[in-house]
Amino acid sequence: MRVIFMGPPNAGKGTQAQLLQEELQIPKLSTGDILRHAIAEGTEVGKQAKTFLDNGDLVPDSMIIDIVHERLTKADCAEGFILDGFPRTVAQAEDLDQVLAKHHLSLDFVFCLTVEDEVIIERQAGRRMAPSSGRVYHLKYNPPKVAGKCDITGEDLIHRPDDQEDVVRHRLDVYAQQTAPVLAYYQQKGLLVTLDGTTSIEDVHSQIMKFVNTRTQQKDAHCG
């Protein structure tokens, strides 16, 4: 299964990608998490990326494409992968198509979670994140079992520096200008599935699983 999650900031992409990863046991690649790790580790990529993330701008295509190429060609992605936060521009989507074509692979679904701007602004205020695993919580909608601590690793949760209202509003503009055209790109290819991201986390997950299970049954029938 090869799946992409798209949608504006705080739409629930990372949350749903994590649930799907647990269900399918295939790698989840979050380009935001990869960049945040690079910044935390002080790598050259991290140094170059920091200002873009802090300001809510996209990092240059060349930087992110190299990172994704390297990750997708690792052995654990051979049976499938979940992309969270990539592609974000038409150039990134075209490049991904080339990588997949080179390996005779294709995408199954591009799930786009739709959420109105004001819900997004409310969500960013309550989001908390475990820096090492990228697991996300929400003070109201998905609270950790122990306040301020990750349920799995026990590490301290943080409020992301780019989760400030002015930065989130800028990220929404960037999404409308640079990422929305990618939706049309996948719509044309018949891969886009648009889902209401404002129902509960469990409801969104079960919607996604209906598509995934149907596709799995089709593949099994084809193989059998």
- Return residues touching ligand AP5 (CB under 6 A): 7, 9-15, 31-32, 35, 52-53, 56-59, 64, 85-86, 88, 92, 123, 126-127, 136-138, 141-142, 171, 197, 200-201, 204
What's the closest the beta carbon of residue 9 comes to ligand AP5, in angstroms?
Answer: 3
With residue 46 as reference, give the H or E element that holds it: helix 44-55
Residue number, 198 or 216, with CB nearest to ligand AP5: 198
Give the alpha-carbon dihedral of 207, 211, 216, 217, to 10 degrees.
100
Active site residue 2: no
Q: At what angle do helices 165-174 and 117-126 cross, to 10 degrees?
A: 140
Active site residue 123: no
Among residues 2, 28, 123, 127, which one is catalytic? 127
From residue 35, alpha-carbon distances to 24, 90, 182 in Å are: 24, 20, 21
Strand partners, 223: none
Task: Select the residue whose beta carbon is closest to ligand AP5 and give its number.
Answer: 32
Residue number, 64 or 212, with CB nearest to ligand AP5: 64
Catalytic residues: 13, 88, 127, 160, 171
